[in-house]
Amino acid sequence: MKPTATALQTAEDPADTGTQKIRDAIRDAIVERRLSPGTKLSESDVGNLFNVSRTLARAALQALSYEGLVSVEKNRGAFVAYPSPDEARQIFAARRLVEPGILREAAARVTPSQIQHLKQLLLEEGRLMGERGQTARRAEIKASGDFHLTLAAISGNAIMQRFMDELVARSSLVIALYGQSTISSCGHSEHGDILVAIERSDLDEACRLMLHHIAHIEADLDLRERKSVGLKEAFEP
Convert the pLDDT of each residue in 66-94 to its tens digit: 999 999 988 899 999 999 999 999 999 99
Q: Are residues 124 and 17 in the same domain?
A: no
User: CA dist 9 to 3, 6, 44, 94, 233, Å?
Assistant: 10, 5, 32, 35, 59
**Domain end: 80, 97, 112, which one?**
80
Residue 8 has a pLDDT of 38
Q: Are residues 65 and 134 in the same domain?
A: no
Residue 107 to residue 117: CA distance in whole angstroms: 14
What is the pLDDT confidence band of residue 10, given thresholds at 50, 70 and 90?
A: very low
Is 29 inside a domain boundary?
yes
Domain with 158, as residue range(s), is 85-219
* First vs last C-alpha separation in the chain: 78
**Domain end: 38, 56, 80, which one?**
80
Is 226 inside a domain boundary?
no
**Mean per-residue pLDDT, 165-191:** 79
Is 231 inside a domain boundary?
no
Residue 1 has a pLDDT of 47
Q: What is the CB neighbour count within 10 angstroms for residue 91?
A: 20
Degrees, nearest 5: CA angle 140-152-208: 85
**Mean per-residue pLDDT, 175-192:** 73
Q: What percent of the chain has pLDDT over 70?
A: 80
Q: Are residues 76 and 90 in the same domain?
A: no
What are the φ/ψ torsions at residue 80 (nearest 5 degrees)?
-60, 130
Is 7 inside a domain boundary?
no
CATH value at residue 118: 1.20.120.530
Biggest distance spanned by C-alpha atoms of the chain: 78
Residue 56 to residue 47: CA distance in whole angstroms: 7
Q: Are residues 70 and 90 in the same domain?
A: no
Q: How many domains does the chain have?
A: 2
